[in-house]
Amino acid sequence: MSGVDYADVVCGLAWGDEGKGKVTSHLTFLNEYDYVCRWAGGSNAGHTIYVDGKKYKTHIVPAGVFSGVKSVIGPGCVLDVESFYQELEYLSAAGFDTSLVKVSPRAHIVTKIHKEIDKGEYAKKLGTTSSGIGPTYSDKALRRGRRAEDVLEPSMLWNEKFSSDRPSGARILCEGAQGVWLDIDWGNYPYVTSSNTLPYAACSLGFPPQKIRNVWGCAKAYDTRSGTDPEFPENLSENEHLAFLQWKGQEYGVTTGRKRHVNWLNIDRLIRAINMTGTTHVVISKCDVLDECSVKKVKFSGDRFEPPTYMNIEDLDQFMNRVEGWIRSSCRLVEKIYFSHDPEAI
């Protein structure tokens, strides 16, 4: 049967690095999907995934490859051919079946020049990952880009059909990259990435919005920001407790190795992100890290003219109770909230 039965979406509720890789690989191992697909971004993303206790890092290949599920890099993605093939070799050497990975013929190609421009002009100014993302999407918008169909061997290309042995059609898991506050429209422009990170953009894979079933929204027990953003000033690291979270949580960019800025969880932002994405299942990771910090706080953003306020939280139980209460009272679509204490499992 060709056609789509349903699509579940995993998305970031913050600035990326919220544990989407962990949630995606957990879901793919449940055997409930025929496809795992990326819908936006490129090798700027960095996903950390544990399989049988071993740690793997990927940038563009969807997590389906770890559980033997067909994996698609969608039409809205940008592909750095060299780093893509390197990643396939790395995964194949580790014993995974990389023939499951296909690329949409419509995905745009990141060239050496795109990366040079990104590195030379935008890495310092905007704190980009130097992966050539902005320049590639800008050539796409100017309608002068090269696409995967112009460059890749035909055997690597996706046939743009979702098929399944099941009579009701294919089940798809859409793997988000980055997060709501890095979205080109909704983030703190120009300190954003160049694609749409919200779940509606997953429909660019070629299914209608009515097919979206569950949205798994991922966040952490504290906020982190990889790259430049005036909302995360340098002096945050002078706070010993935030510095502790940075150290204990190993908050370094997977793609760039840069230290991430850390701040207390901004609860207003989290609630807004849950509502904008239509999140049905919330996963809040790194509760084990927050638990070990002697001081715990939650941030309320206020509006642009008010200074933010911070509430002191007694312990992890109080943190979970409060956060659960705030989410339950403001987010109607949420069915389940998970507080995760394990880097390898939900």
The residue ranges that bind Mg ion (CB under 5 A) are 17, 46
Task: Compute how many other C-beta atoms are within 10 angstroms of the C-beta atom of residue 243.
Answer: 14
Is residue 145 near ligand IMP by the rule CB under 6 A? no
- Name the residue type at position 99: S
Scanning 67-75, 123-131, 200-208, 336-344 for contacts with ligand IMP by CB under 6 A, the matching segment is 123-131
Options 5, 8, 47, 229, the catalytic residue: 47
Is residue 182 near ligand IMP by the rule CB under 6 A? yes
Find out whether 222 and 263 touch, Cβ atoms under 8 Å.
yes
Cα 141 to Cα 271: distance, rounded to the nearest angstrom: 32
Minimum CB–partner distance for residue 227 and Mg ion (Å): 11
Q: Taking CB under 6 A as the rule, which mask of x and - marks residues 224-253 in contact with ligand IMP?
A: --xxx-------------------------
Minimum CB–partner distance for residue 259 and Mg ion (Å): 14
Is residue 10 near ligand IMP by the rule CB under 6 A? no
- Name the residue type at position 237: S
DSSP 344: T
Options 5, 8, 17, 34, the catalytic residue: 17
Which of 72, 133, 242, 313 is in the footprint of ligand IMP by CB under 6 A? Answer: 133
Size of the site for ligand IMP (CB under 6 A): 21
Q: Which is nearer to ligand IMP, 187 or 278 (CB)?
A: 187
Is residue 58 near ligand IMP by the rule CB under 6 A? no
Is residue 178 near ligand IMP by the rule CB under 6 A? yes
Find out whether 212 and 7 touch, Cβ atoms under 8 Å.
yes
Q: What are phi and psi of 308, to 5 degrees?
A: -70, 155
Sign of CA dihedral 207, 11, 179, 113: negative
DSSP string, 5-23: EEEEEEEESSSS-SSHHHH
Minimum CB–partner distance for residue 184 and ligand IMP (Å): 9
Find out whether 335 and 283 touch, Cβ atoms under 8 Å.
no
The sheet with strand 4-12 has its strands ordered as: 101-103, 70-73, 35-38, 170-175, 4-12, 212-220, 281-285, 336-339
Assigned token pair, 128: 């980009």
47 catalytic per annotation: yes
Q: Which is nearer to Mg ion, 17 or 34 (CB)?
A: 17
Q: Which is nearer to ligand IMP, 34 or 223 (CB)?
A: 223
Q: Which is nearer to Mg ion, 46 or 199 (CB)?
A: 46
Which of 24, 44, 263, 280 is in the footprint of ligand IMP by CB under 6 A? Answer: 44
Is residue 197 near ligand IMP by the rule CB under 6 A? no
Is residue 340 near ligand IMP by the rule CB under 6 A? no
Q: Which is nearer to ligand IMP, 34 or 175 (CB)?
A: 175
- Check whether the bond before 190 is cis (ω within 30° of 0): yes
Scanning 105-113, 124-132, 230-238, 331-339 for contacts with ligand IMP by CB under 6 A, the matching segment is 124-132
Cα 133 to Cα 255: distance, rounded to the nearest angstrom: 13
Sign of CA dihedral 9, 15, 21, 22: negative
Cα 229 to Cα 227: distance, rounded to the nearest angstrom: 7
Minimum CB–partner distance for residue 230 and ligand IMP (Å): 12
Q: What are phi and psi of 287, to 5 degrees?
A: -65, -30
Which of 45, 72, 91, 289 is in the footprint of ligand IMP by CB under 6 A? Answer: 45
17 catalytic per annotation: yes
Nearest in space to 131 (alpha carbons), one of 44, 41, 227, 39:
44
Q: What are phi and psi of 166, to 5 degrees?
A: -75, 140
Is residue 175 near ligand IMP by the rule CB under 6 A? no
Which of 25, 71, 129, 136 is in the footprint of ligand IMP by CB under 6 A? Answer: 129
User: What residues form DSSP beta bridges with 264?
Assistant: 222
Contact residues for ligand IMP (CB under 6 A)?
15-17, 44-46, 127-129, 131, 133-134, 177-178, 182, 191, 193-194, 226-228
Give the active site residues.
17, 47
